Amino acid sequence: MDPKKISHPAIVELDGAYWFQEKSEESFPGQRFCLEVDEILHHSHSEFQDILIFKSKTFGNVLVLNGIIQCTEKDEFAYQELITHTAIMSHEKPSNVLVIGGGDCGVVRELVKHLDRGVDTITMVEIDDMVIKLSAQYLPHMAKFHDHPRVNIVIDDGFKFLRENKSKFDVIITDSSDPEGPAEEFFRTSYFELLSNALSPNGVVIMQSSENVWLNIDKLKELVSSSRHVFENVKYCQCYMPSYTSGQLGLIVATHNTSLNLTQPLRTFAADEEKKLFQYYSASVHQAAFVLPRWAADINEVDT
């Protein structure tokens, strides 16, 4: 391996191999997650962020934004499926769907499965079109529907779009990066209020929460509490993701519909249909994702 081709601030040489190391003193101090690098496929700075794509030894191609892993070919389906189908299957008729972020187009891929199964329109708002273009090149299985004729991709700032938006959406999926750089604003009450204004009366929102119960549970509780200042019905679920620090990622699901049990899918597919459509998600996984260990269960037990 030519050392000149393996050059990035987050990649170090150790014992004759090159390792990408993910570290964040703010989000997960005192620990690092590493993947062995076979080859750097792309590295650049867009207008908004540092973009790194590398081929790993065991996880396939990996997309990294601002030093934080966004997805890997090995396990991306787990996150993409849970964040998409948990929200979609919690709505009786999720006709009009909005995705904020999601430049790798994995959520769009999952939403396309629901076209003519309840979903009629899909709009994705991504601030950095370079992420979309690079995902189409290096993560084609994820971004295979980036040019689907029934998917409307808008290159714009998510906040700006929501402020100017006049439409109402049945489901809004916030597939943002961790709260560093351009994604920081997605973790504040003002953003939850914009989401609320864009929702139809029984609409459902879902957003990655950045934290899981093992990393910073106090910060997680604060985020859930902020959501509850805006939405009457809020729940937290988690996804198993080996390429994310601590092996898990949390999602916050919210609605103004107090009669809706977010922990139970409102719609289901037959078992054989689930097997054809999904690798990770199922009606059973939907329910189990909201079951937290005893010491963390009060995240979902707060009286809303």
CA dist., res. 112 & res. 117, Å (int):
9
Nearest to 211 by CA among 187, 233, 192, 181: 187
**83: nearest Cα among 209, 227, 184:** 209
Q: Which residue type occupies 240?
A: Y
Q: Which of 75, 104, 170, 175 is catalytic?
A: 175
Tokens of 67: 């030093």
Distance, in Å, from the CA atom of 287 to the CA atom of 303, rounded to the nearest integer, reads: 19
Tell me 189's DSSP state.
H
- Residue 175 annotated as catalytic: yes
Cβ proximity of 220 and 213 under 8 Å: yes
Nearest to residue 145, comparing CAs of 115, 183, 116, 177?
115
Q: At which residue do the structure tokens 């499926």 appear? A: 81
Pairing of strands 199-208, 248-255: antiparallel
Burial pattern 101-121, b for ≥16 Cβ within 10 A else e, equals bbbbbbbbbbbbbbbeebbeb
Q: What is the DSSP string of 144-180?
A: TTTT-TTEEEEES-HHHHHHH----EEEEEEE---SS
If we measure between CA atoms, which residue out of 254, 245, 176 comes closest to residue 211? Answer: 245
Taking a C-beta distance cutoff of 8 angstroms, is the pair 115, 125 a contact?
no
Question: Mind telling me the catalytic residues?
Answer: 175
